[in-house]
Amino acid sequence: MMEELHSLDPRRQELLEARFTGVGVAKGPLNSESSNQSLCSVGSLSDKELETPEKKQNDQRNRKRKAEAYETSQGKGTPRGHKISDYFEFAGGSGPGTSPGRSVPPVARSSPQHSLSNPLPRRVEQPLYGVDGSAAKEPQEEHSALPTLMSVMLAKQRLENEQLAQRGGGLCFTFVSAQQGSPSSTGSGNTEHSCTSQKQISIQHKQSQSDLTMEKISALENSKNSDLEKKEGRIDDLLRANCDLRRQIDEQQKMLEKYKERLNRCVTMSKKLLIEKSKQEKMACRDKSMQDRLRLGHFTTVRHGASFTEQWTDGYAFQNLIKQQERINSQREEIERQRKMLAKRKPPAMGQTPPASTEQKQRKNKTNGAENETLTLAEYHEQEEIFKLRLGHLKKEEAEIQAELERLERVRNLHIRELKRIHNEDNSQFKDHPTLNDRYLLLHLLGRGGFSEVYKAFDLTEQRYVAVKIHQLNKNWRDEKKENYHKHACREYRIHKELDHPRIVKLYDYFSLDTDSFCTVLEYCEGNDLDFYLKQHKLMSEKEARSIIMQIVNALKYLNEIKPPIIHYDLKPGNILLVNGTACGEIKITDFGLSKIMDDDSYNSVDGMELTSQGAGTYWYLPPECFVVGKEPPKISNKVDVWSVGVIFYQCLYGRKPFGHNQSQQDILQENTILKATEVQFPPKPVVTPEAKAFIRRCLAYRKEDRIDVQQLACDPYLLPHIRKSVSTSSPAGAAIASTSGSSNNSSSN
């Protein structure tokens, strides 16, 4: 830009100065005192801007004013008013109207280019000099309108500077006016004096104000440029890293979609294989059930009046056993008849003479046949021994048939259970392997209760087998009854979901199917429950039963240590799952539908808590206090579960319930069977240790005040192996010590 300004010819430079100052330019030589030299800061003006029609018009006006000023300086009068230049203080002119002298150093006035040679937009304060280097002298002229015109000029220049700054250039205009003492043109007689005052007005844009030197500005520019380059480099690096990350994200997204698609295919294939396996198992179960129908029996529909009922018909296995029993009975009758005949042929004893009547009878018998002949004593004993052996063999066969019949009855019970399961599965709306909640694939029905169905299912998310319990409400129920049932199930869910113990079945999930059904997802155990095992085997050894009781007590101890404690209230063999299906493995407790929460509001450590659900539960396993009827509901505590433990242990050892065996729940309630169960009786067989009987008595104490609680039950010596062994081994030793001490006392007394 500076080279372009220096390349201007002097005439254009003068026109440019006149454009900024607004004062006419004299046409005289450059060394004349009246010649105009302007000092201004250089802006961002180009030659193209100066050559526009507006600039040319302004330049013509300035030349016209210069000519008028020149005529005025020659003494020619003019009738027009004051000009703008008349309001400034002039130096070096012969009279008013001459152009003011600019305070430009000689070096700056040597050539026109030096007037625009300073590129720095900073304030310039210099005195005014003439052409020869002496201080220029101008006549001092005052006017009353000077402040007003000066403010107008300043405002005009400020406006132009702001406009130029907005277009990208910051210009600094400096008006310098010097006042010196010199003889006036009118010959007023004032003496010459040096420069007495100097007045300078600077107009600068705010963005162009700076006290920095070119070196500092250059250093700052270099620093800023280097910082900018670093930032741009950092931005480029970040952009490249961002692009790489986006590319990696896209690749990972594609890979994720690929894995999702693969996972969906795997899940689909798993569902297909599981469904095929389930169908094969269903077909195998139905084939086996059909074969067992012929062997064990089946249900037939029989009409009774206007109604139809199902009646059980035994299969050929039972019919064969019945025929064998009939054959054995007929053989026994025949042997008994022959023994009676043999008794008639019994010979008389040795040394006894038969009477005359006997001799006459023997003669008649000889005439009647050989079979009525009298046997000798040896023959009689021989025949008698044969009959005894035959009766013994028939008795053994009868015992075997009876044992086989009992075994078949147990198998028949399982067969009937399987027939009912198949019938319920065929009539279920979930028989076609639906996927519930987009997660649980139903495989086959495990069992059905009053208002619920339990399915074996597969969790497609966690890849594990689970048990899905589907609660279905009766559509004919009132809304109040549905709400109560749902509330009861939600309560069971809230109780069960907080439990975490290896001897308690875990609850995984809970969700609704529709307005009349909802599901709970439980841990799946491969084996059956204890009730199923007892129906198959009737009883178990004391060691196996004790192992099961120890695990049950461990779970009850956990339920009473959590806050708030929980009473299970429905302990029975059907709610005790055998993990391996055998009595020598682990067990898990399930079904917390009737559980009681012993919170601070309802539970009292002395009396217990009120039983609000009297009549619910399984009567064979509930203590007597649950059957007490009065004005107020009975009080219960965790001793209810202790009674249930005693009943379960008794049933495992003896194969029967201690109270109300072979009675229905209605009969137990009507006959007050449990209220009369003041003392437990033990059959002679099978043989059980006295410690086990004592443990059962402590659990089945009639009064709840005399019964131990769960904490005492967990510390019972019978359930602690080392303590039980030490007690059992120390008792004979103590007896021996007592006997020896007694004998020593006797000997000393003698």
Distance, CA of 551 to CA of 576 (rounded, Å): 10
Euclidean distance between the first and final Cα of the chain, in Å?
148
Which residue do the tokens 């309560």 mark? Answer: 491
* Residue 129 burial (CB count, 10 A): 19
Which residue do the tokens 């043109």 mark? Answer: 185
Taking a C-beta distance cutoff of 8 angstroms, is the pair 80, 40 a contact?
Answer: no
Q: What is the CA radius of gyration of the chain?
A: 63
- The DSSP letter of residue 135 is B
Specify which residues 195 forms β-bridges with. 180
Distance, CA of 387 to CA of 335 (rounded, Å): 6
* Residue 660 burial (CB count, 10 A): 20
- Provide the pairing of β-strand 307-314 with 435-436: unpaired
Q: What is the 3-state secondary structure (H, E, C) of 55-77?
A: HHHHHHHHHHHHHHHHHHHCCCC
Taking a C-beta distance cutoff of 8 angstroms, is the pair 179, 146 a contact?
Answer: no
Distance, CA of 130 to CA of 103 (rounded, Å): 8
Q: Which residues are annotated as a binding site for ATP?
A: 469
Distance, CA of 579 to CA of 588 (rounded, Å): 7
- Provide the pairing of β-strand 566-567 with 507-514: unpaired
Distance, CA of 481 to CA of 213 (rounded, Å): 95
Is 227 catalytic? The answer is no
CA atoms within 13 A on the CB side of 586: 10
745 burial (CB, 10 Å; 0-12 / 13-18 / 19+) is exposed
Taking a C-beta distance cutoff of 8 angstroms, is the pair 150, 89 a contact?
Answer: no
Q: Which of 86, 570, 591, 641 is catalytic?
A: 570
Q: Which residues are annotated as a binding site?
A: 469
Distance, CA of 626 to CA of 702 (rounded, Å): 12
**What per-residue string of b and e applies to 512-545 under the rule 16 or more CB within 10 Å gives b?**
eeeeebbbbbbbbbebbbbebbbbeeebbebebb
Task: Kindly report the backbone phi and psi dihedral angles of residue 574, in degrees, each rounded to the nearest multiple of 5, phi listed first.
Answer: -70, -20
Q: What residues contact 683, with CB distance under 8 A and at least 6 apart?
A: 654
Q: What residues contact 502, with CB distance under 8 A and at least 6 apart?
A: 586, 588
Among 97, 149, 102, which residue's Cα sits nearest to residue 127?
102
Q: What residues contact 449, with CB distance under 8 A and at least 6 apart?
A: none
Q: What residues contact 469, with CB distance under 8 A and at least 6 apart?
A: 452, 453, 454, 519, 520, 521, 522
What residues are annotated to the active site?
570
